[in-house]
Amino acid sequence: MTGKIHIDLNALGKATERLDEALRAYAATPDNLFVLDSVIKRFELSYLQTVRAMERFVRDYAPIGLESDASFRDFIESATDFGLTDVSFERWLDFRKARNKTAHTYLEDAVRALTIPAAEFLPVARFVLENVRRRVADDES
């Protein structure tokens, strides 16, 4: 490790809370397009904050930091090695593709289909949040 560092996990914590809130609202009112839009936007934000938290941890805690041009596979494998995620690279790739679709698609049926990976991503984001939080706390003690 390169020494004690601080990773601000507030944004990730708020993003996961807001995704959960949007998913619950969508389950209650699936015909509400405003709520659907909220699920998609909050999924995008949760994905981004989750990846950033893992990346920061891996870059700052790895005995040999990731190269700046490390592949997504290398990054996910490093995060898995640190116990930050228990999700396969292939599943992370699915989430990444879904997140990319949210930025480039607005056909209502296609967007509705993206609520499934958004709902499946929520426990992944929570797992990462808790494991990064735990690992940082372990380092500080």
Domains of the chain plus CATH, in order, are 10-140 (1.20.120.330)
How far is it, in rounded angstroms, from Cα 19 to Cα 118?
8
Residue 12 is predicted with a pLDDT of 96
Q: Give how far Cα 9 sits from Cα of 50, 52, 69, 131, 132, Å.
A: 9, 10, 24, 11, 8
> Is the CB of residue 118 less than 8 Å from the CB of residue 43?
yes
How far is it, in rounded angstroms, from Cα 87 to Cα 127?
10
How far is it, in rounded angstroms, from Cα 47 to Cα 1?
26
Tens digits of pLDDT across the chain (141 residues): 445 667 889 999 999 999 999 999 999 999 999 999 999 999 999 999 999 999 889 888 765 555 555 688 888 999 999 999 999 999 999 999 999 887 776 677 788 888 999 999 999 999 999 999 998 887 766
pTM > 0.85: yes or no: yes
Amino acid at 14: K
Residue 71 is predicted with a pLDDT of 85
Residue 121 is predicted with a pLDDT of 98
Residue 1 is predicted with a pLDDT of 44
Residue 120 is predicted with a pLDDT of 97
Residue 112 is predicted with a pLDDT of 86
- The torsion angles phi and psi of 107, rounded to 5 degrees, stand at -100, 125
Residue 7 is predicted with a pLDDT of 81
